[in-house]
Structures are given as C-alpha cells and as structure tokens.
Structure 1
Amino acid sequence: MEAIVPGPDGEGLVETRLRGWVDPASALAAFRFARHAPSAELAPYLDHHWVVTYADLAEPYEQRIVSHPTVNITITDDFRRVAGVIKGGFSYTMRGSGRVLGTRFRPGGFHAFFRAPVHRLTGRFVEIEEMYGGAGAALVAGVLDEGDMGAAIGVVEAFLLSLEPEPDPLAEETAALVSLAEEDVTVTRVDQLAERAGRSVRSLQRLFRDYVGVGPKWVIRRFRLHEAAERIYQGRDLAGLAAELGYTDQAHLTNDFTAVMGMPPSAYARLGLGN
C-alpha cells in the first residue's frame, strides 16, 4: 500500500510505501506519518527519518509492525533506544498525544556506527544512553527538547556525523543485495541471491549475519511475506500466490503469515475490505 500523507509541519506531501504495517488504512486514521530524506552526508548509511504524531486519542491505539531487516534509532517520551532486527512482529501503543522520531538505517548501514557484527543487536532493544553514554544522553535530551521536527532531525544527524562513519564497500554490497531481494519477487531462495551476488551461499550468510543481523533466508522470506500481506490487504486474487512467493503450498504460507501477522490471511483480507 502506498500513501500520500501530510508532513508533520503541514507543508508539502510525503510519499511512502507502508509495507510492514498491519492494517495501514486504520493506522493512518489514528496518527500522522511522514518520512524525511537524510542529508547527503548520511545518505550512504540511512534509509530515511520517520515521524509519527498523534493527538487527543480518545482510546489507546495499538499499531502492530512486521519489521524490515533494518536497524532503527527511536526517540519518544516513552523510550529512547536502538532497535536491532526484530524477527517476529511487535507493537507500540499510543495514548493521548505524542510524537515519535525514528531513524531507519539502510541494511548494513548501522555497521558504521556500531563497528561490530550487527547480529549482536538482533531481537534486542538497547537504550541509546547504554550504547553511547553521555553523548547518547545529550542526543535524547536534544531531540525531546526540540519542538520543531526539522531541527530535531538535525540533532540526530549531528550526533551521527560526530561518530565519523566511514564508507564500507561491504555495507554498500549488502544494501544492494537486500534491495534486490525486496524488489525481485522471483528471488525466493538463498542460492538464487548468492548466484546474483557472485558469492557462495556460506559467504553470503556470513555477510548478512555481520552487516544485516539476520541471514539471507530470513530476509527473502520476510520480503515475500510483506508482498503477500500487501496483496491480501488490497483484495487481490490469491490463486497461485504461495508458489509465486516461494512457499511449498498454501498451508505453509498461511502458517507463516498467521505466526507473524497475528491473524490468518482470510481475516487480514477482511480488514482490507473494511477500509
């Protein structure tokens, strides 16, 4: 699903694809969402900054997310943390009014700011202050004290630049391969991606473990699940979908979908029809 949503300052329009959101139409009725491109200096490492704002919610709203193979830094009044790749689904409950500022790194991009195998963060939420000490605490305070969203993003970017990231050809290769796995739905097996990369399967697995945090099999399967969710939500014909996306049969797709999305495809299709 794609959406055009107002930016948080009310100026301009932001185009975004909402893959990974469970029931995105209902979500956009509950809160405002915008993406902001990173600066040229940080574009090799960052995918985008993202902002969620909500106001005067009469009832708590829980948004479930089916994550991407990316690391995020997220700062809000409720928490301030570095999130590694979360293999299952997770959710965030919004109450009253608030704002969330996130920075999503390109696959492999966080390696330049972590300088260690990224799999050490997989499935974990680490407090920014724990990872970066006093500089991290200053980052959090600067973002929370800044009322202007553009200026808050500037605080994040200044912090990241202060860590002096350096270009890494392996990170660039990783980002390109993850993008290939996402965009080419014919890539359904690790050996296919390894062949396109000119690497052995074992070499590709090591690269993804160190730079993405999860293996290429998980990355491929997650993107195919995002594809399935998008099609199901939009009411598209499901005939042959399992085979097209690399599942052995419809039952395996249903089981995988239900485990991650929290409901079977039939229920998710009804959510889409309701919007």
Structure 2
Amino acid sequence: MSFLTIPSQEGLFTKVKKEGSSGEGRCYDEGQCNSDEEYEDSEETNVRLIPRCSPIPRKRGRSIYDETAEYLKIKDAIPSRRVSFADTTGRDLTDVKEFVQFDSDDEDDARWEEEETKYRPKIREPTYRINPEWTIPTAAALTKAVHINKVEVESVSPIEDEPLAFIVFIRVLNISFNKTVCIRSTMDSWSTYFDCPADYVQGDGETDKFSFKLSFCPPYLHHGARIEFVVRYETSDGDYWANNSQLNYAVTLLVSYEDDVAQASHFDMPDLTSILKTESSYR
C-alpha cells in the first residue's frame, strides 16, 4: 500500500464491548468471540469506537474573561496617582533658595599653607666663616722671614661669593728665574693629602708673589673642621719649605646659625647705671 492509498475503516478503529447488566465481558476483537451467538450478542450491546491514535488530553487554558478579571483585580489593588500643581493648593509655583558664597579649594589650600608656615620649624641656614690658626706677620716680619727661609705665607683672604673657600698669598725670594710653588694640603690629619701648584700674581724684582685657593667640602663642613697645608718652593738652587715652624698652617671652619646669633643678643652686658642704683638702695 502506497502513502496515497486510503486505508479502510476496519483498520482504523477497534470495537469495544462494554459489560451489560448481565455481567458479560467485553470483546475487543472479532477473533476473540468464540461463536456467532456471542458475536450477535455483542451487536446488541453498546459499541464505542476508539481511534488507535487518540490525542493526549491537555489542561484547558485560561479564558480571556479570567485574565481580564485578574487584571482588574490587580489594577484596583494599586493606588492611583494624581498630578496636581502648587497653584491649585494655594502655594507658589516657584521656590527661590539663596546660597552663601564659599571659598574654593585653592583658597583653602593657600590659607592652610599660610597657617602651617606659622608653626612649621624654620630651616636653620648656616653661616660659615674661616679662621686662620697662625698669626699673620707684619710687613717687616714678612720681609725678614722671606730672606731667611726663602718662602713665607703672607696673608689669608676669604672669598665673598664662596663662604667655604679662601685664598692664601705666598711671598718667595727671587733667587732664580725658573721657580715653582706648590701646596700640599690635608683635611684628615695627613691620612691623605693633595698637591696643587700656586699661581703667579706679581713681583717687585726682589720677591715674587703667588696665590692658591682652598675650599672646605663634604663631609668636612661641620664646626671646627680644619685644613692643614705646607708650602714647597722649588728652584734651581734647591727646594725650600714653609711649615709655620713645623706646626703647619691650619684654617678652621666656624659654623653659626641665625638662632644662635639671636640668642646671643639676649645675653648682652646689663647697664652698669642700673646696677649701681640697685646697690645704693640696699645701703
């Protein structure tokens, strides 16, 4: 049988025999009846045809009336909202608020920094001053020492723009045209030392003047730091040394602060007139 052939009704339905009042059993198929009498009896009974492929029973959906009733129920439960204007209740339509002007964050920061500087400890700026530890000779004493020792330290001068540096002037006897003046200095008590040449300044025919520059440097910037040096004078006749009678020349660094100077001003000598008046009152 092809798919276009319509089957007979006999293959689509099954006869079902229900029990009657006499308690007869059902006959579900023609082959199950034993005799023609039984088949005839089954024809007299109620026969219900059940299709072999009956649909599956489904639950009935909600009708549009039920959904409408539920929607109205929910709508009634929600409170309704009404829009009203202020003028309907006798109030003003506008509400004016005034704001007080306040300082910006930048002004607050500037004010905070200004207040903080009042209580911030001031940075103590040090003041440096050099102090030579030998006596500067007079003109007469210098001339005599130069003729005897052939070389002598004349003077020491600080540098205005460099408070940690100083210049040393040297006077030598002009005993030869070719000459060299060198400085040997130390800052750690001769554990290490440095040699540097001096520069020629001027001469008067009998003596010549040289100069060299020395400076304090870290870590020797504390109060009481010392630079020691000696002078060597090299000529064709020989070498001559100036060492402050074997004591070496030394320059000390003095460090002071503004606070120290201000405190020292409070300890000035009192007025002698007031002291005499006070003593006379006790007599």
TM range (shorter): under 0.3
Which one has the bigger helix percentage? 1
Larger relative contact order, structure 1 or 2 (CA cutoff 8 Å, min sep 6): 1
Larger Cα Rg: Structure 1 or Structure 2? 2
